[in-house]
Structure 1
Amino acid sequence: MAANIHIQKTDFSLPVIQLSQCDVAELKQELEQFALSDSDESIAVPCILAIDNEFTEPTFLAQSLECFRQHGFLPIGLKTELDGIIQQAKYAGLAVFSEKLNQLELFDAVLLQQQVKTPIAEQNVSPKPSEKKMPVILHRSITSGEQIYAEHNDLVVLGDVAVDAEVIADGNIYIGGSLMGKAYAGNSGLMNVDEISVRATSFEPQLISIAGFYQLYEDIPTKYLGLAVKVKFEAQRFEYRLE
């Protein structure tokens, strides 16, 4: 992901100036009515020019741009459907706005592409599942309100996880005591969902999550509550097994 370029979509807008006649002399005369040339020369009004009619004078666009600039306007784009004018606009370094292309949709596509690439960039610097280090092992219980996160690793808690406590791991989770709080396994999304499991010697969690799929306490089959259980997410459903 780029470190120095951050793209944002805002409600920023520009005035659109419609050119009805292709006459530079008339254009200059009308622009003088705005009296923008008396303002600070370092300040100009960015704008978009809209042209619907073809013009025969080959230098009309260049003369028009210079005329606008002399009167305090700064054309940065051209709105037209005429191929000949589009080519001149590109040659003049102007952005082209066309009804055939929805600029906001194009911009959304750029943002979506950036978002799609971001996890890939993160994946390049994250350990692969086969390269995970030794699991994070805690020789204690996790108290209510406490949150534990094992980044890029499995998590082993050799104690209880109290109600309202949270244990989170990018890999698997094993609880040696009672799981009564919340457990989030496969948090990073880098492991295959069928490789992830949550295990507990006494299984009665408030919530379990595997790779983003959730199940609440009230949805867990009662025959597994309080027992040694291993749970996985397979075939689009949670599968419970006694251990």
Structure 2
Amino acid sequence: MSAVVDYAQAGELKFGQVGIANLRVRTLDVAQLAAEMQDRVQRAPNLFARAAVVLDFGGLSKTPSIDDARALVDGLRTAGVLPVALAYGTKEIEALSQQLGLPLLAKFRAQYERADGDAAAAPEPAPRAKASEPAPVAAKAAATNAAPGLVQKSPVRSGQQVYADNRDLTVLSAVGAGAEVIADGSIHIYGALRGRALAGAQGNEDARIFCREFHAELVAVAGHYKVLEDIPKDLRGKAVQVWLDNGQIKLAALD
């Protein structure tokens, strides 16, 4: 009689949306970068202490050496955060990630700067062959098939995360402390916001955040953020909108 084979997996692997901070390195000064990060951790330990961080070297003129990169990883760990990956970029970045033993995350596509200071996109895959239909027709079809906004009817509780992929997010209830709501578009919250709200997650600088009762731990638009300690006290508990103006986070009461 043959033995019964158990094919049950010991571990179940799933892929999902994960909230990870992206540190764009503009000057490779390890001491200064570590000091800046330590200051963030000390000011908002609930948000940044032992936070996962992706390193983005796209703001540098050349890829760091392995020694400099290791020194930065060690410095950031000492400051209180955990570098977990490199932002996808060039072949040099890919080689550096292998030397560091860190993965590349394609979701965090590094942006590289030209000599004149303007940002240039990292190399993209070769363009696909043109469709047989005229471009205006294809554009119209894409607009027609755009995903509607995501509506979250129940409260978002501590430890939960809701992500609206390539669309707006509307929360009909509250976002609790320790909870996180993320949208590639704008975020509308019809209850209290006590956790974190991140709009324009893929870089949309026109995205906004609206909430009826503002107590946010953190708000961000297109990667630019403010924590509770940086927000004027006269806005707390008010109906507030958050938007981006020339790279600066702005907040104003809606009343």
TM-score by length of 2: 0.45
Structure with greater proportional helix content? 1
Structure with greater Cα Rg: 1
TM-score, structure 1 as length reference: 0.47
